[in-house]
Amino acid sequence: MFHTLYHYPRVVARHEEGPFAPERERFLTHCAETGSAPTTLLRLASELLLVAQRIDLGGVRSVPMTEVAVAADRWVRYQRRQHRIRGSRFSRERFMQAATAWLLFLGRLQPAYEKPWVYDGLINEFGRTMREERGLSQRTIQSRVWYVRAFLRWLDEEAIDLAALRLEQIDAFLALKSQQGWCRVSMAAMVGALRTFLRYAAEHGCCTARIAEGIEGPRLFRDEALPVGPPWSEVQRLIASTDANGPQDRRDRAILLLLAVYGLRSGEVVALTLEDVNWEQGLLHVRRPKQRREQDYPLTATVGGAILDYLQQARPRCALRSLFLAATAPFRPLSASRLHSLVHTRMAALNVRCPHPGPHALRHACATHLVAEGLSLKEIGDHLGHRSAYATRTYAKVDLVGLRQVADVELGDLL
């Protein structure tokens, strides 16, 4: 690997004669196989040589993070004395990142000790109960646990014991979140999570019984917020903006088509793998964690062509099986947050206006377009992966053109 990265014999010799050269070369080879760019490998090789020179790796001991931090600080101080750097932040971060990644790869990084949180066991059991006994999806469990953790952290900060919790204290917490700008929907979600958790805690003797029944949240009205996506003409304009031949444009075009044509959720798109595109049968296999089931779609020519173009012309060559990867090294599967960011950025650049710009807005646009095309709510629900027509019926209210036609009917003699 050193001979591949460097051309000057003296530079190659310096790296080969440095401490732990085989281990450093093995890690660099691993990074190259996972898609790291040559410039990244060059910088990493230099940092690894410094790490090997400044951290004692003799024997088979595990290196604690505190020792890595001390070595990084010493290296930064040395550079400042030599007037090589002005600020210490980036130099220290590069040293820490290289050392941490390498030691983890070697299995020689001693994990930092964290004092167990008093509520860790209760939260873990709460999540297990929701998964195994109530059968909730992983996304729902993560959301509820997040709200519960936020509440319990506040209890710790206020030195309030869960066993002595009172309704006034819960009201104070909710009032604080309202002052911090939480909307009514978020507040209602917090209240729902707290009720579920406090019922569970009361059953296990961790808090006062029936306290959950006294929690009051903001009132939400059924269908008060209709699902609104951009007009279909704006969706077409958004997709047309990816006509450039750059790697990121090819990838984003395939993603936008999946969101708009099939109405997929962001989590369903990032979960797609190379095996989910069945080219022989012309099918797209989608896993729906929210419904805990899977669904096959016919692969349309437009979507299939965009995916094939991305695979042949833009997808990085690496061992990862995820369909969509980051456009630059280090290559890794796209996350749902990164997918939201790229859709939001493209919509903002084209001034595509809708209440909540992002991947889910394209799902709403897909459903609204299908309503305008005359498909039944059952057909639309099947297309979107809804388990019942109840979740689909709200899109009937969005068909303003159809509603106006109904309003314009001349009743004539019937009056």
Q: Residue ranges per domain, the chain?
A: 2-110, 120-214, 232-404
Domains 120-214 and 232-404 share a fold: no
Q: Bin 103: left if φ > 0, else alpha if -120 < ψ < 50, else beta.
A: alpha
Total length of the chain: 415
Picking from 334, 368, 361, the residue whose alpha carbon sits closest to that of residue 346 is 361
Catalytically active residues are: 265, 290, 360, 363, 386, 395
- Cα dihedral sign, 85-89-90-92: positive
Contact assessment for residue 346 and residue 232, using Cβ atoms and an 8 Å cutoff: no
User: 330: cis peptide before it, omega within 30°?
Assistant: yes
Q: Bin 56: left if φ > 0, else alpha if -120 < ψ < 50, else beta.
A: beta
Tens digits of residue pLDDT in 149-204: 999 999 999 999 999 999 999 999 999 998 998 888 889 999 999 999 999 999 99
CATH topology assigned to domain 120-214: DNA polymerase; domain 1 (1.10.150)
Measured between alpha carbons, how far is 230 from 259 in angstroms, rounded to an integer? 13
Picking from 211, 261, 268, 209, the residue whose alpha carbon sits closest to that of residue 232 is 261
Tens digits of residue pLDDT in 52-105: 999 888 777 888 888 999 999 998 888 888 888 777 778 889 899 999 999 999
* High-pLDDT (> 70) share of the chain, %: 90
- 335 — pLDDT class (breaks 50, 70, 90): confident
CATH assignment of 232-404, among 1.10.40.30, 1.10.443.10, 1.10.8.870, 1.10.3720.10 = 1.10.443.10
pTM: 0.67
Q: Tell me, what DSSP letter sits at residue 288? A: E
Contact assessment for residue 15 and residue 45, using Cβ atoms and an 8 Å cutoff: yes
